[in-house]
Structure 1
C-alpha cells in the first residue's frame, strides 16, 4: 500500500472507529505529514522497509532540524501519532512488525502550568467592561472560561440552547471535551450575569449581521467565534489590562485549577471539573500551590531562612 493511502486509512480509522474530534484528526494529519515528508526525503517509499533505527533517527531529526526544531513535548506528541500509525499498520497486516513500539520520546522536564493571580484575573476581566456589543460578548466569553476552567474550543463550540436552561436556570453547563466526553460544570453568578447581558443586548445584534446559527458566541459578521478569534479576544484584553505577563488561551483554565486547589478544593473534584481522564494530569497543579505556600512561608516565618 502507498504511504499516502495508508495515512488516509489510518485517519479514517481513528475518525470512525474511535470517534475522535475533528481537531484531533487535524493534529494527527499534521504530525503524519511531517513523518511522511521525512520518509520521502530519506527515499523511503515502502512502509515495510521502515526499521526501528529509522524511527529513532526521525525522533532525533525532530529536535535538530534546521527549521523550527520541536520541543520535547512536541516531539512526544508527534511520536505518539507515529506509534499509533504503525500499530494500525500491524493490526491491518500491512506490515509484519511494529517498528515504532519500543521507541521512546525524549524525557520531559516538569512543566508547571502558567497561572495568573486572582487579582490579575480580576484585572483581565475588568478590561472587558463596557456597554458596547463587543465588550458584552468578550466579558461573557472570559467570565465563562474562568468560571468553568473550560478549554477555549469547548466554549466556542457551545450553542445558545446549551446555556439557556442549564446555565441560566440550573447554574451548570454541559461541556464536551476530548473524545466527545461530556461533563457538567457549575457556573458562578458573575458568569451568569455576563451571559444574560450578552444574550439580551449583544447577541441579537451580531446575529442580525449573518445567517441563522445556533452558536452561542458570534463574531462581527454573525458567524461562530473561532478558537483563533477567542485567542485574539483574550490577548487584546490582556494588553488592555497591562498584566506584565504573557497570557495564552489556556491561562484562564490553568488559573481556574490553581485557584480552586489553593482554596482547598479536592484534587479529584478539580480533575472532574477539568475533564482530565487521569488524576495524575491534574496533580501537576498541586505543585504550583505547594510552591506558593513555600514562598509565603519563607517570606513570613521569622526562622524560615
Structure 2
C-alpha cells in the first residue's frame, strides 16, 4: 500500500489551497496520506492541515531556519522525513517548482511534473508541448515517486478531517550559502489569482497601463481576480505576477473573461481547465474564440463599459 507525504505550502501562517488539491491527487493514488508542515512555528498551520479530509497524520517540523520557504533549506529536511514513504507530493506552484526538484535530487528520483491524472500508483498523465499533448509516464517502482501536482486539474479536498498532529524533529545538515533576504509581493484587495472562482484578464488589445483600469473596474464588479496575457506584461501594462499562461500562472476558475487577448497557445495552456471562458476581441479570427464558450466580437472600450453598467 502507498504511503504518501505531501509538503504543505503556506505563507503568513496560513495554508495555501494548493495543499488540499495535492491531497485529492494523493487520494487518487490511495494509501496513507500524511502532510509535512515546515515552519518556525507550525502549530496553527498544522492544525489547519489536520482538518483536510483524508489526511491521516500531520508532521509539524519547527525550526527557525524554516521561517521562510527556501528550497535549499527545506529539501534536506524533507529528504529525511521522506524515509519510508513511497510518494512525496508538492504543488506545481512557484513554491513546489522551486522545492521539489531539490527533493528529487536528494532522493535519487526522477521527478514527475504537473500531474493531471493518476492512472495507478506509479503511472500518471501530464501535459507536454505547452499543453498541446498529454503524455502518460511511469515512475520507477524501486525509488520514491517525487511529483508536483498540477493544481488547476484537481479540486481541493474538503474539510472535516481530524488527523493527529505529531511534532517531528529532523536531523539534517542545512546549507549556509543560501539565505532569505526579503520578500517583495504585490498587495491587492482583490481575490488571489490562482484561487479566485472568477478571473478577468486583459491583453495587448487594452492598449496601455492607463487603459487597464477598465479591466480592474469590471473585475471589481464581478468580485474577480485580475490577470493578464504575456503580451500585456511584456508591454509594461501590469506586473508579471499577474501573467496567466505557460510561463505565468496556471489557473482553473469557474469563469474566465479574456478581454483584448488574441489567445496564443501559451496563454490557452494556463486556462484550459477553466469552467466557462468568455472572450471579447475585435478580431473575429482570434484563436481565443476557438476555446471560448461565449465570444463577442467588437470594440472592448464600448463593450466592457456596457457590460459593467448591466452588472
| TM tier, smaller | under 0.3
- Which of structures 1 and 2 has the bigger CA Rg? 1
Structure number with the bigger relative contact order (C-alpha 8 A, sep ≥ 6) is 1
TM-score, normalised with respect to structure 2: 0.21
Q: Higher helix share goes to which structure?
A: 1
Instruction: Please report the TM-score for the alignment, with normalisation by the length of structure 1.
Output: 0.21
